[in-house]
A and B are shown apart, each in its own frame.
Chain A
Amino acid sequence: MSRSLLWLDNLRLSFCTSEAQIEALRGINLSLGAGERLGIVGESGSGKSQLCFATLGLLPDNAQVSGRVCFDGIDLLTADAQTVQRLRGNQLAMIFQDPMSALNPYLTVGRQLTEVLRWHERLSRRAAQARAVDLLERVRLPEASIRMRAYPHELSGGMRQRVMIAMALLCEPRLLIADEPTTALDVTVQTDIMALLQTASERRALMLISHDLHLAAGVCQRIVVMYAGLFVEIGSVEDLFTRPAHPYTRGLLRAVPGHQGPAREPLYSIPGQPPQPDQIPQGCAFAPRCEQAFSRCHHELPPLHEIRAGHWRACHLDAAL
């Protein structure tokens, strides 16, 4: 296998609060090849957004990280601030969840776009301006050159997300991380943005965070299912949809309206709630909600193991597929 672009090795992340030690990521191993499109799916609180922030080093002061985050052979956790700054926004770029709050309300769109080019590529004001307009046109923002002078609040939600995407693409990054890019948008706009994201991720690696398995499947080649700070299943889109191996993945697939089961039957939902991040059970974190759990599940953490080439799961159940 060729050397991976992004390699996470036993990544652990916890937050120190006055009340408790909260574990957000409990040992993540991941390898993402150049040009690969990976979806990370899970409920809110499963740690998927924290995984993005940990990868980019955008964590608050009370965060404790261990393990390795290697981008193109450089460990971002131990590299000096300058090296990381040179990579961020340049080789690795991120699209945030809510473009309203993620864009600076006090600066024009143009200013927020051009500063990236002026800083990373040392472009002149005029050259940066031209490149930014060019990118806004590429993300199909109408009247791009006029929008450069607009403030974020003067744009619609969809336009703002287009600006965010353009901002991430400015330096042609090799890895694009998109954290729920359509959550804050109208359903009608979602489809457009996902199509745009698909085009944008050509020739580069994509890490798409979503709570919607089907949305991720539309864009990605491989999908990771996350639960309580751990990966519980990894597989190709086909593996996950035709042969879901983890009870949680199966639950997620059943809980989508109109996809499985006869009509008029009440929509399935996984019983119970995800564990509180400061009270993660010993053993399999999903066991308390799992209909097939047995005693071993409550005591022993199932390791992630390969059940078929490229298809991994963390579950004690017999591989009776």
Chain B
Amino acid sequence: MLHFALRRLFSAVPTLFLIVTLAFFLVRWAPGGPFDRERPIPPEIAANLNASFHLDEPLWRQYLHYLANLLHGDFGPSFKYQDYSVTELIWQGFPVSLQLGASAMLIAVLLGLAMGVFAALRRNHWMDYFVMSTAMLGIVIPNFVMAPVLGLIFGVYLHWLPVGGWGDELRYRILPVIALSLPQVAYIARLTRASLIEVLHSAYIRTARAKGLPLRKILLQHAARPTLLPVISYLGPATAAIVTGSVVIEQIFGIPGIGRYFVQGALNRDYTLVMGVVVFYAVLIILLNLLVDLLYAWLDPRIRHAQRDAALTHVL
């Protein structure tokens, strides 16, 4: 297992390199620069600024420079928030984004699983159709529509919850977490339903019934694992969706997380900040995907053994 984990980590290096390269050149390709203002700054000051951030050098040298710094774990200084390094900004925003994202993920998994199992066990019943069509709504309505609508209903009309801001109180978190998790709840619910229905039709479930086991035992002991597998493998893409969704949600609700820095950074052409967030999120998603793979292998003995055998042939 350790061997497998290390190999997967190692194989993530080229992926990360590609992401960094693409992100670097895409950001630079966008028109404008970090020191462009409505009223142009004097050329001497601009030249000085450019020189101090190495912006006067050819692009390929800047790229190599950035790579070298990155290898030392240095994201560089922010162009806009000049008293802060990008690392400081990321660590400032990350706890907030983590709370938002982790809550959304937790709700997506728990609620999605519960809804999916509920619907699968009442297949083709009106409750099944109701749950599944509600889930479809969650999938088709994009979060940049859902978030303002939720704010409008529960904040502006009903005055139950604040329309924005962030604080330790629960009431600040309800709307953003719901808006962020809703598409994932819906997706996991549909995935779970389809998965459980398929598993319940398999021959080994019929065997379990032939053994006289009650439904409760059949579900928990025989159906749970195979039903969870597709859901587990979706957790990787779900993380990516929550990360990107968080960029939008933080902006809409005015939450001081990484996503907000990312948007601000992009608008200000704050190259290092944008790059820093991209690299940080890329590493995060790669690590979580690795975790998902390990979890998957742990749940499916056939994969676990295939890995062990592969590891053995490597050793021999």
A116–B207 alpha-carbon span in the complex (Å) = 11
Interface magnitude class on chain A: 20 to 34
Chain B residues within 8 Å of A98, by CB: 203
* A151 located at the interface, meaning its Cβ lies under 8 Å from any Cβ of chain B in the complex: yes
Residue A119, interface by CB 8 Å: yes
User: Which B209-241 residues have C-beta < 8 A from chain A?
Assistant: 209-214, 217, 221-222, 225-226
Closest Cβ of chain B: how far from A135's Cβ, in Å? Answer: 14
Which residues 155-203 in B have Cβ within 8 Å of A in the complex?
Answer: 201-203
Q: Count contacts between A and B, CB distance < 8 Å.
A: 75
| Known A-B contacts A106-B300, A107-B222, A115-B217; A101 and B212 likewise in contact (beta carbons under 8 Å) | no
Known: A105-B302, A115-B217. A86 touches B212 (CB 8 A): yes
The distance in angstroms between the C-alpha atoms of A107 and B211, with both chains bound, is: 15
Interface residues on B, range: 20 to 34
Instruction: Report whether A104 and B209 are in contact in the complex, using a CB–CB cutoff of 8 Å.
Output: no
Q: In the assembled complex, which residues on chain A have CB atoms less than 8 Å from the CB atom of B226?
A: 105-106
Contacts of A60 in B (CB 8 A): 201
Which A residues are in CB contact (< 8 Å) with B213?
85, 89, 115-116, 119
Please determine whether A88 and B203 come into contact, CB atoms closer than 8 angstroms. no
Query: In the bound complex, do residue A151 and residue B301 qualify as a contact, i.e. CB atoms below 8 Å apart?
Result: yes
* A53, closest chain B residue (CB): B206
Q: Which residues of B are found within 8 Å of A96, using beta-carbon distances? A: 203, 206-207, 210
Q: Does A154 contact B (CB under 8 A)?
A: yes
| B211 in contact with A154 (CB, 8 Å) | no
CB of B206 within 8 A of CB of A104, answer no
Please determine whether A105 and B210 come into contact, CB atoms closer than 8 angstroms: no
With beta carbons under 8 angstroms apart, the residue of A85, A94, A102, A151 that contacts B214 is A85
**A53, A61, A106, A115: which contacts B211 (Cβ < 8 A)?**
A115
A56: chain B residues at CB < 8 Å are 210
Is B107 on the interface with A (CB-CB < 8 A)?
no
For the complex, give the distance between the alpha carbons of A61 and B204 in Å: 17
Query: Smallest CB–CB gap between A60 and chain B, Å?
Result: 8
| B208 close to A (CB within 8 Å) | yes
Residue of A nearest to B214 (CB): A85
Take A101-B202, A107-B221 as given contacts and tell me if A89 and B211 are in contact as well, using a CB distance cutoff of 8 Å: yes
B305 interfacial contact with A, CB 8 Å: yes
Residues of chain A within 8 A of B102, CB atoms compared:
none
- Least CB distance from B69 to A in Å reads 47
Q: Could you tell me if B210 and A151 are in contact, using CB atoms closer than 8 angstroms? A: no
Once bound together, how far apart are the Cα atoms of A154 and B306, in whole Å? 11
A65 to B226, CA, bound (A): 30
Interface residue? B299 (CB, 8 A): yes
Contact string against B for A residues 99-114, beta-carbon threshold 8 Å, 1 for contact and 0 otherwise: 0011111110000000
A 160-176 contacts with B by CB, 8 A: 167
- Does A153 touch B at the CB level, under 8 Å? yes
B201 — which chain A residues lie within 8 A by C-beta?
60
Query: Does chain B have a CB within 8 A of A314?
Result: no
Minimum CB distance partner of B205 in chain A: A104
Chain B contact residues, CB within 8 Å of chain A: 123, 201-204, 206-214, 217, 221-222, 225-226, 299-302, 305
On A, residues with C-beta under 8 Å from B are 53, 56, 58, 60-61, 84-90, 93-94, 96, 98, 101-107, 115-116, 119-120, 151, 153-154, 167
